[in-house]
Structure 1
Amino acid sequence: VYQEQVMQIAQKLAGFSLGEADILRKAMGKKVFMLVQKEKHKFIEGCIKNGNSKPVAEKVFSFIEPFAGYGFNRSHAACYALIGYQTAYLKAYFPAEFMAALLTSDQDNLDRVAIEITECREMGIEVMSPDINESFEKFTVITDKVNGKSKERIRFGLNAIKNVGHTVARAIVEEREKNGKYKSLTDFIERVRHKDLNKKSIEALAKVGALEKFGERNALVNSIETILAYSKNYNKLASTNQNSLFEASEIKLPEITLAKVPPASKKDRLSWEKELLGLYISDHPVKEYADYFQKVALPIKHINSEHINQNVTIGGIVSKVKKIYLKNQKTMLFATIEDLDASLEAIVFPKVLEVTESVWVEEKIISVSGKISNKDGELKILVDSAKLVTLEDLDHFKRILTTQKKNGNYESKKNISPTKLIITLPPNFNQDILKQLSAYLDKCESGKIKVYLIIENSKLETPYNIKLTDKTISNLKAISPTAQISVS
């Protein structure tokens, strides 16, 4: 029995109006016992008035009453199961098209877009920067031939670029569809004569790489005034010549010449992408630190409910900072830390902020240690300590890696190796794990790396000093996949 059938039974047997039948449906669906009993009395009376016996009315009601316990869930489960099957089918057989549609539907939610682009990468689908000759208004699948085989990629939509309005995006696409691809910057400016193609929109297109086929990003940005002057002169001449013997197509102005300036730095390019697309698309500032964070930090995407109340270390770029001024005239801070695949909100209380304030600057690369909390139903890290990760740290780490390759382990004759191995066990861990860890560490070769355990926020020093290798780390992770293993 489903909702609509309950309403039909009430209408035909008890003479309920559509509105009255809906009240009965809601009472059952929301399991309001008192209201169900009231409606039951009304239902039986209605059935008797319509010539049905009381026993029949009671039997019918007893048949539909259990609906309150399963009907709503079952009918919705069937719908969701069908939708789930359809989406799974589309994602399996049309992965690029499915992800492009998903990105378009979420283009106003940058957190979702970032997650979905990461998923695209894991699926082997490249998401490319906007391009004036390939992008449409929405995220679009582009098919190219690579070594004789078709390769599908997703091109960023023009609507998703900040400062490029929907009307401008539509004008760019419609003109291209009508008269072909844009051959040059001059050709683009002459053909797209939309009132909203102004300084902000042209600059945004240049900064995100949409005009990169016509010139390097920094050269375009430094030529905005030249481009605007050309557009103004061309439109003026076109307007004048509409009333003359000449056609607009006969207007000839010198080609736009771009400024001769150094190319945009990687930092500038990524900063522009973050500002105007809401995320990094051509590269990621954390990428060159990936090996470093792989050794000393837990990837944010791996943090889950098992880590609640555990101490962890994460690393990434500071993407948002918000200071809060408290009544006691002290300051606390909320920040978003973003690594290659995910982001996490960090909460910095006044005492910690006093000693780490210089760290909390947007676009700085940092490492953060603290306890995972599910405050407000969302996972966050309550910061105990934080530090900048500098290029010097990266160089130091690379020297360690070089030494590892030479020695085949983590220890260095030059005294630049880590000295601690820290194993953080999850809450409610199986006691057998401790026995397995102890048995394995007993077999490890003696060395200079001291082993520590963190159990329920307590740091315990073990009697083990071992020689650490990549195989050691792998074996420890195999014993306890949910444990966090770090070296310092």
Structure 2
Amino acid sequence: MYLNCHTYYSLRFGTFSEQELLQLAQENQIKQLVLTDINNTSACLNFVREAPKYDVRPILGIDFRKGVETCFIGIARNNAGYQELNELLSYHLHGDLKIPERAPILKNAVVVYPFETVLLNELDGFLPHEFIGISIRDLRRLPFSRLKTYRDKLVVQQPVTFRNKRDYNAHRLLRAIDNNVLLSKLEESELASEEDRMHSLENLVEAFSEYPFILENTQKLLEQCSIHFDFSTNRIPQNLKYYTGSKKEDEALLHKLCYDGLPKRYETISVTVQNRLDKELELIKKMGFVSYFLINWNIISHAREQGFFYVGRGSGANSIVAYLLQITDVDPIELDLYFERFINLYRANPPDFDIDFSWRDREAMTQYIFDRFDHVALVGTYVTFKYKGVVRELGKVFGLPKSEIDALSNGVVSTPKSDSVVRLVLKYGKLIEGMPNYVSVHASGILISEKPLHHFSATFMPPKGFATVHFDMVIAEDVGLFKFDILAQRGLGKIKDTLGIVAYNQPEKANFDIHDVKRFYKDPIINNMVKTAQCMGCFYVESPAMRMLLKKLEVDNYLGLVAASSIIRPGVSKSGMMREYILRHRNPGRAEREAHPVMLDIMPETYGVMVYQEDVIKVAHFFADLDLGEADVLRRGMSGKFRSRAEFEKVKEKFRTNCIKKGYDEQLIDEIWYQVASFAGYAFAKGHSASYAVESYQSLYLRAYFPLEYMVAVLNNGGGFYRAEFYIHDARMLGATIHPPCINQSYGANVIYGTHIYLGMMYLRELEERVMQRIIKERETNGKFTSLENFIDRVFISIEQISILVRIDAFRFTGINKHELLWKAHMLLGKSKRIDHPKLFPPKRGKFRIPKLDTTPLETAFEQWELLGFPLCTPFDLLKEPLLSKNGQRDLQRYLNKKIDIYGYLVTVKNTSTHTGKRMYFATLIDQYGEVFDTVLFPPVAAKYPFRGKGIYRFYGKVVSEFGFLSIEVIKMQKQDFIQDPRYAEMKTSRKKDITNQTKSRGRNK
């Protein structure tokens, strides 16, 4: 009987979930229910999925509103009607159009106009599918209204938005947040009626007892409506069914592509290769995943045609079919990749393919997919209210002062008996926390469906301009829609750009194949770089934690790097098995002594330690005798991508029961389960790690043989783990000469000529983009600039903008001191108006005399610091006090287990917590010789000596070694002062002299 029910997906309006709505219906003996969220369909599919558990027949609709004003309620008679409603809503959401007062003609949906809306808009002439909604409070006015004559059109429309007073209060707060007003200033028109609650069926019938025909009309309407989506485990996939148009042609094409790929990938086609291919093809066909593989093949084929770099990873990287189709560059035979992680008969969903493109190419690839296939949309996601944020919003709504809001959002409550307003903020903060705030876009997921996506949901249009469904990836998988993951990363941009830079800077060396990675795996220079962690700027291996791990493991080959890529993930570390893995790796025989024989037998390559995602499946299957389907439930349940907690708990219990039956000791069972539980959610599939390692080796090759070109590409792609200043320093250490921006040599991005790197004008933070473009366009069209005057004649520029260029010494080719140039610029430009077009004839210049001026290196350094964000000299030259120690990274071995006094320029610091919640720091620094060293500040020291931003610090601490990795356990630390900026020091000195002279003058006058 309820045609108008809201959940909290009626964003910043509703107050409870779709499950809570169903529970409410069950409590009130309601057997059928229409979900009609406001201009939103996020909850619809899950509502249908969950309804049978509550013995409720679900019906779907949409509450079409203009702001908070209900225009009409659309209710789907069937799935076609639901699609009609989704298309109608999407049309208005895409174009940001107002909902019309009158609904268009709908073939498979009914329309209900609220009583008040009909009266207000004087609606008349209702069509067969149109009805008038009457709420309980409308019954008071119905006898006195002209609408009482529409007996056949009146239906019960009792909105359901609240369960109780607390929900209503939360609603008022959400509306105040949405309107960005104080609660006291919130207008009544912005609120729903407090009476918008669900009554028991008995009470509802009683309320309408004088109008039984309204109840009959409502029941008749509901009986017309039925909706169905298949959520069963053996559901048919809803992705594009056939790539070519038929099953037979799809299978033939996949077979042909694989056999065409065999000689390209394998010199000799062994029995192992052939058997693996046959097995995979059989299963892919059997499970209906052929089109899924062909679509991925189509995507990467287009990328190769466009010259776009990509990396295929995910569990699909364990597949030989993916390798032959060039979706991935990982050979599953060479790496002995676990087949059942890629695919098995128990899993309903296809393998994951995460395809990374350069951040510059991703949008073009997304556009291609939308153009190439018919039914495409991005996957949605829900951005929820976070506790800190909602407390801040509620503080504003209640009118609290900023200082109190700041304290509350940081968890600081002034007194145990806080005032009533603070208590309300905290109370409703907890209630609203976790509610959806708005619908956004999934980081990478794209849906390609057999049916129009409006069959499943309405879509909205985010700023990028690609239609996006209202539901997330979990709901998508539930209904049989499996996403294609198209991601962006900067590492591929670095590789691609390096090739272009090498082509112009060292063309004679540009004839190498960056995809010949098997040659890179055997290169001793590259492998030594990995072993010694000389990996700055290289994809996935440059962070301090990774450098530390590589040194501890003494990794010097591709397979070792594959393992390290997964070992660095939080799960292995959390379980304590990272340390154990290192110990077993460095100490032959330890694995046999320490590992359980079954675990060692399952994972001999990793010394009986779970490293890869498929190890969870192996342990569950071979150690605990779970079947492969149950093992996959375990893996997915821990990954956070799986919804059925009950199913997960059932499998978890079976894990323990089976282990007990096999006679394992309780302590061993607990230990293995703890490893599984702490590890699974963060692990990579081995094929995924291998894909990362391929890209790492490509990056390492470029750094080894084209280090300067590579560092320029790193900088031009936004850097990496560290800030730009550090990569510029690294380029200098690799032999580059670094130049500040120059109007005749520089572009927006960095550029290299031989070994000379000219910084891009993009680093001049106050230089306008349009000015950069003008300079570059004019130079490329009419040649280099010959003087300041020549530049001013040719480029339209303000005195403020040219001052930036002069101060950074961008006119140094003139040989004139920049102070003199600034004088000149002011005299030439002054305050006169400029016209934005070239002059037919150069203007005549008046002659003027400029005093002789000088610039010191210190002034230059501070000027660079201000304009670029860092100086191009070593920051150690700018210290106020001379260094009292000459120690550097080169001395750490000599001081092993001894105390050292050392200075370092802070590169990066990682704040972390111990298991007791105390803060500690890991910091990476550059010494006075330009070498990198690492420090650790344990909680007592961290509390006493916190880092205070960028700068140079003096450390006193003990040099320690862990598995050969040297670091300093800090005992004391002090930040060093830089000298006073000489530009402002002179101003202060001059001002002091003026004040002194004025004082003396006054004294004489007296």
TM-score normalised per structure 1: 0.49
Highest Rg: 1 or 2? 2
TM-score normalised per structure 2: 0.26
